[in-house]
Structure 1
């Protein structure tokens, strides 16, 4: 991926009516393959799920900094550049694919307590 890569970062909280294991399983085994199936329509170059682990260590980190509780995970979606994302959103197929993703997310994500934003990476070391 080139220097103009743009990335969506989605800090996710699970729906409170879902047990943690059911949330993780659905996100990985149902939603992940759905994202893969629409990757071409949304022009996505890469998709990663990061599932929160180590609750004890998270608690230590949280307390040492006075932080709120951690998210249940993070999704990252990369595009080669912002033009690829805009091009996908300019097509009926791209908009329909994004709509399918949002509909599916409503099955396991607490939208009101999650956060999403676009970023441009600044690599400090690799």
Structure 2
């Protein structure tokens, strides 16, 4: 499946709550109404929580300011997406979306990237969702790689070295689900950002971690050791100062899986 991840910052003058309310109750239904024409398989809004996100980086040091959320769209394939969006209806849909995005988002300081998922800790069926009414949260860790590495080298290390480290210690870390989302289809990414006037460099990808709040910050020795191993290995490929972390809740608006 091909996926589009769109990291959003709110429009100047809006609070996060106001932005998320418009996004969910006005923009969301607009996307849903056109989702069949766009051949969307799934559409999810990921809303940043009101947690103190300054505590998340820990030993990683100063990181970028959290986004206000992320829009996630899936298609069965790249070919499905292209076929849908190259029709008159698809082009009209994109025009309508761009026009409405300006009512709640600072598009210049937001960024989108096409990507593919690499599940690491993945229960079947994939039905873990961090809803508003549950104690689950979804951790978003969007990163850019070290300048000494190419994007291919960073993603290869992330997939073949870091992924197994996190999988082995998932239980002691309280992780219910973990997947790597690797940026890809770079020409499409450049086109979607150019069409919206974004000036933000896309990320190398992002990690998604679902966990229960009761497991977060657990001071047991196993958890502390797992956190230390994760931090130490991340430093081999992640440029922390150009990366971002935030906690979020999910609103599933289209799901035809």
Give the TM-score taking structure 2 as reference length: 0.46
**Higher strand proportion (structure 1 or 2):** 2
Contact kept? 1:26, 1:108, Cα under 8 Å:
yes
Higher relative contact order (CA 8 A, sep 6+): 1
Confirm whether residue 40 of structure 1 aligns to residue 36 of structure 2.
yes
1:89: Cα distance to partner?
A: 1.7
* Structure 1 residues 67 and 106: CA distance shift in structure 2, 3 A: same
Shift of 1:62: 3.9
**Paired residue for 1:24, among 20, 36, 43?**
20
State how far apart, in whole Å, the 1-side matches of 2:114 and 2:103 are: 23
Could you tell me whether the CA contact under 8 Å between 1:6 and 1:82 is conserved in 2? Answer: yes
Q: CA RMSD in A?
A: 1.2
Instruction: Answer 1 or 2: which has greater helix percent.
Output: 1
Deviation at 1:19, TM superposition (A): 2.0
* Equivalent in the alignment of 1:15: 11
Q: Against the structure 1 CA distance between its residues 68 and 103, is the aligned structure 2 distance closer, same or farther, given a 3 Å change threshold? A: same
Structure 2: 5+ residue runs without aligned partners?
A: 123-257
Offset at residue 64 of structure 1 (A): 4.0
Q: Distance in 1 between matches of 2:59 and 2:49?
A: 18
Kindly indicate whether residue 90 of structure 2 is the aligned counterpart of residue 103 of structure 1: no
From the CA coordinates, give the structure whose radius of gyration is larger.
Answer: 2
Report what 1:59 is aligned to: 54
CA distance in 2, matches of 1:89, 1:25: 27
2:46 match: 50
Please list every run of at least 4 consecutive aligned residues from structure 1 whose deviation after the TM superposition is greater than 2 angstroms.
62-65
Aligned pairs, how many?
121
Q: Taking structure 1 as the reference length, what is the TM-score of the superposition?
A: 0.91
Distance 2:73 2:108 in 1: 20
Cα offset for 1:99? 1.0
